Amino acid sequence: MVMERSFTPRERRAGGTPHSDNLDAIHDRLGIDKLWDADHSARTALTAPLLPAAPSSPSPTDPSFADSHPAQSNPVALLTPANSDDVVVVGAPPSAVPAVMPWDTTTGAQGISLLGRRMLFLRKRAQILAKSYDECRRITALFSKTFYMGTTLLSAEKRRAVWAIYTWCRRTDDLVDGPRVTQHASELRATLADWEHRLDQIFDGDGRDGLDLAMADTVSCYPGLNISPFRDMVKGMLMDVEQSRFETFDDLYLYCYRVAGTVGLMTLPIMGTKLDGPEGVRGATKSAIALGIALQLTNILRDVGEDRLRGRIYLPLEDLRRFNYTEEDLFNCVLDNRYKNLMKFEIARARRYFRQAEKGVALLSEDSQLPVQASLDMYSQILDVLEQNGYDNFNRRAYITKSQKLMTVPLSYMRTRSSKAWQPLLAVAEFLSGAKNKM
């Protein structure tokens, strides 16, 4: 646990804003800069597994496997009814799955050449992958409307990869926030250990269901993907199980990095950078992490009331004491000047991370700049709505409408233009929207 740090006189003059919010300083303290190395290959795990993995069971995906092992058991459990266009995902244990891969069309096929069997195999697999990616799209659109709208601005190839990653992250989060939340911590540790073993299988090209296969296909399409941020997210889920309070902002930052900053690292190889190779990725890494931190802090501020009902307080306790506000006050939904000043402080902190993230947009590849900028701009508006609601996040949920999101896109587009000819128009647009003063 990190000890509480008092403000310096300079920080007090600056309105009580600790310099520890600086990415370099906080990463140095927490060692986050060593958790992910852009120079390592996508198949190298830089951090140790959460728990010892369960024994691995073979699950070949190479088409030639069907020729010599047509009936060997496989842990993939994706069932596609012949009369349905829907993907039915069945997360069954290996002992309960069919004896033949669901896309194996070679078993019992007589009179078909080796090339013909492989072509049938690949065609069936492509059909299943298409349905699996579409299910990832549906999950993303259902659970994160703002994020989904930003991804629709990406190319078809990039957006389906991002949808696959979001779906994996969503399923990881559901391990601790879904029906299993009532399990004991020891049971959840075992669940997360199995999930991490499943992650290893994905990076080896295997999967237990269709959503796993979409993620495995994404890994194969983007060799720059590194397993380390995915493992760090699993560690973040363990923090959610074992920790319901955060004493300092350093404690909260580590949690935010693991559950959200890692998403920036996961998607960065997909977004691409202007400068090719590891140097380009390294240059954009801090901004990618900052965007994840900003998004998670925004989620925390938006969901204070909901988290209270689960007995959880994500706001740093040192911040509550700073404004003479108690845990009892929070659980009783006391909305007074103390709480409003606390919210102003936290909103200002979140906006600083949004600004740090915005600096990295220009480092991304041309076709990824607008989607990332638009997502940043849309999500940051939740903070504006929280202010408009009088900082009442106990009884009112801060959100932005679909029309507001659509109106944000032109402004985001102007922000991504490098030509100075756009600057006067951008200045007018930001003045009219009030965005410049808020960010």
Q: Taking a C-beta distance cutoff of 8 angstroms, is the pair 236, 258 a contact?
A: yes
Q: Taking a C-beta distance cutoff of 8 angstroms, is the pair 190, 54 a contact?
A: no
Q: How far from chain centre, in Å, is Cα 189?
A: 21
pLDDT of residue 432: 61
Nearest alpha-carbon partner for 96 in 209, 214, 203:
209
CA distance 219 to 205: 8
CA distance 301 to 21: 17
Cβ-Cβ contacts under 8 Å for 12 (sequence gap 6 or more): none
Nearest alpha-carbon partner for 253 in 21, 48, 439:
21
- Give me the phi and psi of 328, to 5 degrees please: -60, -40
pLDDT of residue 253: 96
pLDDT of residue 175: 87
* Residue pLDDT tens, the chain, 439 long: 334 344 443 443 344 444 456 667 777 766 665 544 433 433 433 334 444 444 444 443 444 434 443 333 333 333 333 333 333 333 334 444 433 334 333 344 455 666 766 777 677 878 889 999 999 999 999 998 888 998 999 999 999 999 999 999 999 998 887 554 555 667 888 889 999 999 999 999 988 888 999 999 999 999 999 999 999 999 999 888 888 899 999 999 999 999 999 999 999 999 999 988 778 888 899 999 999 999 999 999 999 999 999 899 999 999 999 999 999 999 999 999 999 999 999 999 999 999 999 999 999 999 999 999 999 999 999 999 999 999 999 999 999 998 988 888 988 888 888 766 666 766 666 666 665 545 5
Nearest alpha-carbon partner for 147 in 165, 174, 125:
165
Nearest alpha-carbon partner for 282 in 297, 301, 269, 292:
269
pLDDT of residue 54: 42
Q: Give the H or E element holding residue 88.
A: strand 88-89
* Domains, the chain, with CATH or none: 20-46+226-438 (1.10.600.10)
Cβ-Cβ contacts under 8 Å for 403 (sequence gap 6 or more): none
Q: Give the H or E element holding residue 78.
A: strand 78-79
pLDDT of residue 434: 64
CA distance 50 to 175: 15
pLDDT of residue 183: 56
pLDDT of residue 181: 55
Alpha helices by DSSP H, listed for 17-113, are: 23-30, 65-68
In order, the DSSP letters of 202-243 are HHTT--SSHHHHHHHHHHHH-TT--HHHHHHHHHHHHHHHH-
Q: pLDDT of 75-108, one tens digit each?
A: 333 333 333 333 333 333 444 443 333 433 334 4
Q: Taking a C-beta distance cutoff of 8 angstroms, is the pair 150, 267 a contact?
A: no
Q: pLDDT of 346-387, one tens digit each?
A: 999 999 999 999 999 999 999 999 999 999 999 999 999 999
Regarding pTM above 0.85, the answer is: no
CA distance 426 to 86: 45
Both tokens of 329, joined, read: 């006050």
CA distance 360 to 372: 10
Q: How far from chain centre, in Å, is Cα 118?
A: 36
